[in-house]
Amino acid sequence: MLEQYGVVYFGNDWFAENRTSSHHVAQRLAERMPVLYVDSPGMRAPQASGRDLHRAWRKLREAFRAPKQLGAQLWHCTVPQLPFRRVPGVPLFNRLFSQWALRRAMRVLGSRQRISWFVTPHPGFLARRLGESFCVYYCIDDYAAHPGVDAQVIAASDLALTKAADIVFVAPPALLASKQAQNPQTRFSPHGVDATLFALASDPATRAPALVGGFSGPVVGYFGSIHEWIDVELIAWLASARPGWTFLLVGYAAIKVPALDALPNVVLVGAQSYASLPAWAKAFDVAIIPYRRNRQVENANPLKLREYLATGKPIVAVSNPEIARFASLVRIADGREDFLAGLDQAIADGPGKGAAERMAAVADQTWDHRVDDVLREVEASLAAADMGLADRQVSG
């Protein structure tokens, strides 16, 4: 049934520094049906930084180009929006411009029926306006809790899209009940993992980057972007408490981190390619998830949790409902002293203790399996919708 459909997929920036579930799902959908991947604008207003200005200019320039083919059934395009969503006339302009640009871009899908697929809520005003037969909302976060966004506007967009969608998938368990109350056709779909890739961290043949050869003492590792929800003060405190250890942070720093820059045993290597993460994790004696405790984190489903587990490395983490589901495999810390005690114990045990159990826990939770499960739900919903339409035609 799905072969007759093409997907218009609204996801995170395709060229972002880190790979998210948005990218993993889209790539696997494109193995089954044509996908037009539409870069969604950021939820926060752009800043006057060189990075934001460069990104805004790139998106504006790409908006007038034909979609770029990235794979046999995967195309990419950009449809920017004006970020001033409360200014009169801006929502109408964004809708009309987006519809015009997407009508041109969707030609790559041919004459197939279309499914609109939203991973972020703010382009949701386009749901039901693209001539699609079916609408999917794949909700992976509590978007209104993100720092720097217009929480009222984003929350309203999220609610409207949740109600408009034919089916909703929710990754964070903490959001499931509220979404089901808003749309009964809501399913729980936790994140997947590229288990084969991250298992390379435990492969003797994998070599860590040359940089780590000069590290002394145990290595406490983190990979992922460093944003406002990362407890930088906690990392600095831990590093100060254990000056003989190396704290290796792999990922783009979206905020200034002077407290970390000042410490000689903290190494920030910046954004690295997704494929290289297992090599960096090879150097970890223990991996950390040092979140701040706030609404956003409480409703998060961290990709790195399953990625860390797939490496086999021990993990010390601040808890949230999703992390708590793996409490038998993760040392959950309550406060700074408890976090440090967890690191001490993990390093004393060694990275090999419990590695097989951690890797086995996520071996069957791959992105391929997740997308298979999601598509079975979509196909069942499409079949039910077709049956309902046929019954109404007969009764009519």
What's the confidence (pLDDT) of residue 150?
A: 85
Question: Quick one: what percent of the chain has pLDDT higher than 90?
Answer: 77
Q: What is the mean pLDDT of the chain?
A: 90
CA distance 268 to 257: 10
pLDDT at 383 over 50: yes
pLDDT beyond 50 at 313: yes
Q: Which residue has the tokens 């703010």?
A: 122
Q: Give the pLDDT mean for 64-92.
A: 81
Sequential DSSP letters for 312-336? T--EEEE--HHHHTTTTTSEEE-SH
Q: What is the pLDDT of residues 89-131, one digit of tens each?
A: 777 787 788 888 898 999 999 999 999 999 999 899 999 999 9
In this predicted structure, what is the pLDDT of residue 83?
66
pLDDT at position 127 is 95
Residue that is written with structure tokens 């003989």 in the block: 244
Chain segment 227-260, per-residue pLDDT in tens:
999 999 999 999 999 999 999 999 999 999 999 9
Q: pLDDT per residue over 169-202, tens digit each?
A: 999 999 999 999 999 999 999 999 999 999 999 9
* Average pLDDT of the residues in 158-163: 97
**pLDDT (mean) for 75-94:** 76
Residue 181 CB burial class (10 angstroms; 0-12, 13-18, ≥19): exposed
| More confident: 157 or 85 | 157
Residue 388's pLDDT is 57
Tell me the backbone φ, ψ of residue 189, rounded to 5 degrees: -140, 85
10: tokens are 């609204």
What's the CA gap between 306 and 382, in Å, rounded? Answer: 31
Which pLDDT score is estimated for 52? 47
Q: pLDDT: is 394 or 152 the higher one?
A: 152
Higher-confidence residue: 41 or 333? 333
Query: In 189-222, which positions are buried (b, 16+ CB within 10 angstroms) versus exposed (e)?
Result: bbbbbbbebbbbbbeeeeebeeebeebeebbbbb
Q: What is the pLDDT of residue 216?
A: 83
Does residue 162 surpass a pLDDT of 50? yes
Residue 311 has pLDDT above 50, yes or no: yes
Domains and CATH numbers, the chain: 2-192+367-395 (3.40.50.11010), 195-361 (3.40.50.2000)
Q: Average pLDDT for residues 371-375, to the nearest whole number?
A: 97
Angle between helices 336-349 and 232-241 (to 10 degrees): 60
Is the pLDDT at 392 greater than 70? The verdict is: no
